[in-house]
Amino acid sequence: MSTTLLKTRRLVAHYGSVEVLHGIDLALSDGEIVVLLGPNGAGKTTLLRAISRLVSTQGAIEYDAVDITGWSGARTARAGVGHVPEGRGTFVDLTVEENLRLGSLARPRDQRVRSREDFALVYDTFPVLAEMRGRQAGLLSGGQQQMLAIGRALMARPRLLLIDEPSLGIAPLLTRQLFEALARIRNEWSISLLIAEQNARLSLDIADRVIVLAGGRVAAAGPVEEFRDGDVIKRAYLGETDGGAEAIGVKK
Ligand code: ATP
């Protein structure tokens, strides 16, 4: 039986006086990959930031059966919620290895001893990072920097990893490799993934379940099989226009 790892209830978020999440209910089971789809401005980034407690919210967030609504971002990270932000946030002047080492600092102090093993696991998942371990992160390609950002988050041994638009600005072939790596991470590291994406086609290949956000609300949600032909996503997104399907990379 699967256990619920994350649950939000009537989650509301504001920027100033403007409400941008209008009562989100979602649940994610241990070991699940959930893809959060939605057009620009739907609230995907805000929802991920709300879960990792980087924006304040009303409503409830439960992680591992504990109410974390009042927690800080640092406490949430230490409890095992990793976050790879859009734009990656790697330290461009530091080497690949130094960036990864920083990732392990997000762990509680008494759990940092296994970092040698963690380096090996990250390098095994992304061999290109091993080849480039001494190189400045700023000299890596966009795709390699995304792998580094994910690798850095893995160094903290999260139980839940939130990833914001991993395919942004990356060539399709690299995006495919990246998604394959994410599927391996779930299988081999037993990490649950919540991935915000606009690239529906590739992300559906690895998802167990899909949530479509539109205008700060859940417009559709269900097992990935229900979303394969794109009609449900089209309706939830932009109406049933062909242009809408193209915009989100869904085959017609
Ligand atoms: P994108 O794919 O463009 O990042 P998104 O689905 O992640 O879109 P959010 O970035 O969460 O959406 O934005 C949700 C809404 O909140 C949008 O209307 C956006 O303009 C607004 N917003 C986002 N960040 C801020 C901010 N720092 N201050 C004010 N409004 C913001």
Domains of the chain: which residue ranges?
4-248
136 beta partners: 95
Whether residue 153 contacts residue 84, with contact meaning beta carbons closer than 8 Å, is answered with yes
* Interatomic CA distance for residues 39 and 78, integer angstroms: 31
Query: CB within 8 A of 108, min separation 6: which ones?
Result: 78
pTM to 2 decimals? 0.90
**How many angstroms does the Cα of residue 15 sit away from the middle of ligand 1?**
9
* Domain 4-248, CATH among 3.90.1720.10, 3.90.1150.10, 3.40.50.300, 3.40.1080.10: 3.40.50.300
**How many angstroms does the Cα of residue 130 sit away from the middle of ligand 1?**
35
Whether residue 104 contacts residue 112, with contact meaning beta carbons closer than 8 Å, is answered with yes
Whether residue 132 contacts residue 96, with contact meaning beta carbons closer than 8 Å, is answered with yes
Whether residue 94 contacts residue 136, with contact meaning beta carbons closer than 8 Å, is answered with yes
Place of tokens 């927690």: 71
Query: CB within 8 A of 41, min separation 6: which ones?
Result: none
Six-digit token string for 201 = 């086609």
- The set of protein residues with a Cβ atom below 6 angstroms from ligand 1 is 15, 20, 38, 40-46
Choose one of 20, 86, 162 to mutate for the ligand 1 pocket test, by most ligand atoms within 8 angstroms of C-beta: 20
- The per-residue pLDDT string of the chain (252 residues; one tens digit each, 9 = 90 and over) reads 579 999 999 999 999 999 999 999 999 999 999 999 998 899 999 999 999 999 999 999 999 999 999 999 999 999 999 999 987 778 999 999 999 999 887 776 666 656 778 899 899 999 999 999 999 999 998 889 999 999 999 999 999 999 999 998 888 888 889 999 999 999 988 899 999 998 788 889 999 999 999 999 999 999 999 888 767 676 666 543 343 344 444 433
**How many angstroms does the Cα of residue 192 sit away from the middle of ligand 1?**
24
* Other beta carbons less than 10 A from residue 109's beta carbon: 8
**How many angstroms does the Cα of residue 126 sit away from the middle of ligand 1?**
31
Q: How far is CA 246 from the centre of its chain?
A: 23
Ligand 1 closest atom vs CA 198: 2
Ligand 1 closest atom vs CA 45: 7
* 3-class secondary structure, 166: coil
Angle between helices 172-189 and 142-154 (to 10 degrees): 10
**How many angstroms does the Cα of residue 86 sit away from the middle of ligand 1?**
12
